[in-house]
Structure 1
Amino acid sequence: MKTEHELDALIAGLSAELKPSRDLWPELEQRLTAPETMTKKVVQLKPNRWLSVPFASAYVASAASVLFAVTLFWQPAAPVQPLVFNPQMLDAETAIVYSFEQAKAEQLASMKTVDPAYADWQQQLAQWQQAITLVQLALKYNPNEALLLKQLKQLYSQQQNYLQKVVQSGLV
């Protein structure tokens, strides 16, 4: 195998332009046609009485009357219900995240004061959140992995239990 320097030297020795081995113009000239030799095809349109102006206005009038009748007598079947988010209709990870995050938000909302023994509670929650984020990243590659789903549920459960202790410490 050649070294890079030998290959560079061989490349430098190549000419910048390549010349064809034969004259290519005769073949190209046969394929090209001169504009004066081309025949123009004129397409004669037959006047169609169905597309004439009087009939077109009749079509528009009939379409307008049908549209008017439909809008006049239209009654919706039932009122449209707003869509409600149902995490059980989605994948398991979304259901777990939704239920635990909702409980976490409720616990944080009920928090009034924190016992000094739990002064670093936000740092603890951040560490759990970091672990949860890593498991969620792994779930992106293996979305139906039972062990990862179980681990995600356990991390959320641990975080929720800790948060419960912090909330209860402030109530005493």
Structure 2
Amino acid sequence: MDEINVQNYSSFKDDPEILLQFVNKYCTVQLIKNNTFSGFVHSIDPISKSIILAVPCENSFQITLLPGHAIINLYESNQENLTSPFQILKDEVSLNDIAARKTKVMDWFKVNLLTVTESNENIIFGNVSILPPYSVTDICTDNPMVAMQVRKIIEGMPASS
């Protein structure tokens, strides 16, 4: 595997924008004691800096939690003939459905007198980004209390409007 974008994890682990660039990418994670894992990054915990990785295993993927304190390096790797299991799920939702969901979430925030803006395909609310497809699992912030409040707002949204 060729190394792309080799990074010392401690140099960027506190920068959520850089961490987001690794989500859904095939990466290699080097841990202490010469352990290495390669797979698709599902998510990175903003508090513990732990990484949830989908590691290819036979004809499926094994979900592995890599503790943040043990991570030394993280870099994007080349993979052949593999598609992220998370991308497959995203592809099943049509672009029209995602656009409609984005509008619905933004309207719901406005109904609750909360100011939201757009940045590319993300919904921005203060220091919170809500990524497509705009569900409660797509909230991105470094403050867990704020994330819980935004989650409650989205969960309170009516099913049809």
Class of the TM-score when normalised by the shorter of the 2 chains = under 0.3
Structure ranking higher in helix proportion: 1
Structure with more strand by fraction: 2
Bigger RCO of structures 1 and 2 (CA < 8 A, at least 6 apart): 1
Structure 1 length-normalised TM:
0.20
Q: Whose radius of gyration is greater, 1 or 2?
A: 1
TM-score (norm 2): 0.21
